[in-house]
Amino acid sequence: MSKVTVVGAGNVGATCANVLAFNEVADEVVLLDIKEGVAEGKALDMMQTATLLGFDTRITGVTNDYTKTAGSDVVVITSGIPRKPGMTREELIGVNAGIVKSVAASVLAHSPNAIIICVSNPMDTMTYLIQKTSGLPKNRVIGMGGALDSSRFKCYLSKALNANPNEVEGVVIGGHGDTTMIPLTRLATYKGLPVSQLLDAETLEKVAADTMVGGATLTKLLGTSAWYAPGAAAAYVVESILHDQKKIVPCSVYLEGEYGQSDICIGVPVVLGRTGWEKVVDFKLNDAEKELFEKSAAAVHKTNSVLHEIKAL
């Protein structure tokens, strides 16, 4: 029996739970929220799609009762506030740090062997906070951002190429921020062909720029941040772990020298399997990409330092 808990039954958490159930990623999904009735209601609504969609996953919802999450294999943390148009993700730190820290402690009290996936923003810093305060081995703390950013990169690339997005490969590393993410255009391909052979430099620059502000663009359109792709991206990470798929996915993980960085959680390609992130894959960045990665890491370190100022660490 596999069990996944999703904390936060808002836009992203509910979407993630829905994708997990629809794809039968786990036998059991528990949705938890602090707001009375919300998780119960959404879980019940989702369960009523089981016979329509033909899935066997059992979904339950609870209001802040962590005993019902006991024995989870994977816990996805989406609790916290989303940004509004005009805000950066970093501005959420003051409210979200307290929520994420206490939620991580509560889930681990009942599921000490769980692998934690952090979605709440600013995601790299929230992942670092969990890593530093939970005492978990580093392989069991994973920040989800790169899976989403890479799917946006592939979406924008496929539009520029007028191609099927599923035939496009592309990876985004670095921080999950408007100015810190790094779409690796040099390594992006369409059916194995480098996209630089198919698109001009100006188009490629626009694709990278659109990718970097992908979340901000949606926030402006929606009035709150996105949820369909974020929820699906979190479920994709869960599936690779729970089903031991060994997919290489860019995730925010605690580095100890890899990519020239230490004491930071930031997006790098990792192999995801049943024990969490199993190894960092070295993409052999060129000098320009290395410089971008260093700048990105410096910005994430700066946000992490706020954790001390607000006494979250």
Ligand X SMILES: NC(=O)c1ccc[n+]([C@@H]2O[C@H](COP(=O)([O-])OP(=O)(O)OC[C@H]3O[C@@H](n4cnc5c(N)ncnc54)[C@H](O)[C@@H]3O)[C@@H](O)[C@H]2O)c1
* 13 in a known ligand binding site: yes
C-alpha to C-alpha distance for 45 and 172, rounded to whole angstroms = 35
Buried b / exposed e over 232-259, threshold 16 CB at 10 Å, is bbbbbbbbbbbeeeebbbbbbbbbeebb
Taking contact as CB under 6 A, which single stretch among the options 34-42, 178-186, 235-243, 293-301 is the one that binds ligand X?
Answer: 34-42
C-alpha to C-alpha distance for 22 and 84, rounded to whole angstroms = 29
Backbone angles phi, psi at 164, to 5 degrees: -70, 125
Our finding on whether 82 is near ligand X (CB under 6 A) is yes
Nearer to ligand X, 190 or 227 (CB): 227
Q: At closest approach, how far in Å is the CB of 119 from ligand LMR?
A: 8
Residues contacting ligand LMR: total by CB under 6 A: 12
Our finding on whether 147 is near ligand LMR (CB under 6 A) is no
* 113 in a known ligand binding site: no
DSSP 281: -
Our finding on whether 89 is near ligand LMR (CB under 6 A) is yes
* 120 in a known ligand binding site: yes
Our finding on whether 20 is near ligand X (CB under 6 A) is no
Question: Is omega for the bond preceding 137 within 30 degrees of 0, making it cis?
Answer: no
C-alpha to C-alpha distance for 199 and 84, rounded to whole angstroms = 34
Our finding on whether 155 is near ligand X (CB under 6 A) is no
Our finding on whether 146 is near ligand LMR (CB under 6 A) is no
Q: Binding string, 38-67, against ligand X, x = CB under 6 A?
A: x-----------------------------
Taking contact as CB under 6 A, which single stretch among the options 45-53, 200-208, 225-233, 262-270 is the one that binds ligand X?
Answer: 225-233
Annotated active-site residue 243? The verdict is no
Our finding on whether 16 is near ligand X (CB under 6 A) is no
Taking contact as CB under 6 A, which single stretch among the options 4-12, 53-61, 156-164, 254-262 is the one that binds ligand X?
Answer: 4-12
DSSP string, 186-215: GG-EETTEEGGGTS-HHHHHHHHHHHHTHH
Q: Who contacts 13 (Cβ-Cβ below 8 Å, separation ≥6)?
A: 6, 7, 31, 33, 76, 78, 79, 119, 231
Nearer to ligand LMR, 135 or 223 (CB): 223
3-class secondary structure, 272: strand
Cβ–Cβ < 8 Å for 242, 227:
no
Taking contact as CB under 6 A, which single stretch among the options 6-14, 67-75, 167-175, 263-271 is the one that binds ligand X?
Answer: 6-14
CA atoms within 13 A on the CB side of 175: 29
Query: Binding residues for ligand LMR, per CB under 6 A?
Result: 82-83, 89, 121, 148, 176, 215, 218-219, 225-226, 230
Annotation: binding site for NAD(+): 8-13, 33, 96, 119-121
- Catalytic residues, which ones? 176
